[in-house]
Amino acid sequence: MRFLFLGDMVGRSGRNAVFSALPGLVSDYRLDFVVVNGENSAGGFGITEDIFRQTLTAGADVVTTGNHVWDQREALEFSTREERFLRPLNYPRGAPGNGSGLFEAKNGARVLVANIMGRLFVTPDLDDPFAAADQLVSACPLGEQADAVIIDFHAEATSEKQSMGHFLDGRASVVVGTHTHVPTADHQILSGGTAYQSDAGMCGDYDSSLGMEKEEPLNRFLTKVPRGRFEAAQGPATIAGLAVEISDRTGLAEKVAAVRVGPRLENSLPNFW
């Protein structure tokens, strides 16, 4: 199975880059399944139903989120009826929407996708992500109820992300980190066969501070006095993510590569498709 994950879309620039590039990637590489993190797509804060639907139209099969999931209040409503929209799985019982789902890929594979949020240096402080992950993969095991298992682990601390990767090694096809918006160089296949990357990076303008216009973040570091709101940067965007070849036989990763298309970052596309 050919799988593509794209990191956090940030603002209009980031989402337009995804909407422009993703249809071609799906077609050219005959992708079977695509997950896009959309939690920063509405001006850098949250996601609207219209943006969610445009992301599906562009080629995403599932849209994940994170700590900004409810920044646009309409998400509280449309999350309850859109099964392909995921909020973090480890929200307390009773939260609207779903944190995971079992979906069918273009090749017919059953793909379990979950969005889980870390606890270190990030708010809100949700339920134990490791317990949530363990319960998930125990209830729908790879190779039994699921042909592939994809985990978007939305977390700040690299140590927590790496620990989650090792915790699920051999039980998930892919564990990919989001939230910090900077692509890491550690994409790899862990010893148990799980594809891992600490952070996929963002789909956004990299002439910025994590996708935001850099003047106000810099001002706050220098003066500690806010002068205005954070605004999503509007320059040309680069899309960043992770490509994985998943075995149809075992559901584990066989090949993994970084994906980067756009200005500023060194462009990278998988050579195994």
Closest-CA residue to 4 (of 48, 55, 49): 55
68 classed as catalytic: yes
CA-CA distances (angstroms) from residue 118 to 16, 42, 85, 177, 236?
28, 22, 19, 10, 30
pLDDT in tens, the chain (273 residues): 999 999 999 999 999 999 999 999 999 999 999 999 999 999 999 999 999 999 999 999 999 999 999 999 999 999 999 999 999 999 999 999 999 999 999 999 999 999 999 999 999 999 999 999 999 999 999 999 999 999 999 999 999 999 999 999 999 999 999 999 999 999 999 999 999 999 999 999 999 999 999 999 999 999 999 999 999 999 999 999 999 999 999 999 999 999 999 999 999 999 998
Q: Are strands 174-178 and 148-154 parallel, antiparallel or unpaired?
A: parallel
Backbone torsions φ then ψ of 101, nearest 5 degrees: -165, 155
- Tell me whether residue 50 is exposed, middle or buried, using C-beta atoms within 10 angstroms of its C-beta: 0 to 12, 13 to 18, 19 or more: exposed
In the set 68, 154, 179, 187, the catalytic residue is 68
Question: Residues 170, 176, 179, 184: what is their CA dihedral angle, to the nearest 10 degrees?
Answer: 120
Give the pair of three-digit tokens for residue 123: 């708010």
Running DSSP on this structure, what letter comes out for residue 157? Answer: -
Question: Exposed, middle or buried, 92 (CB in 10 Å: 0-12/13-18/19+)?
Answer: exposed
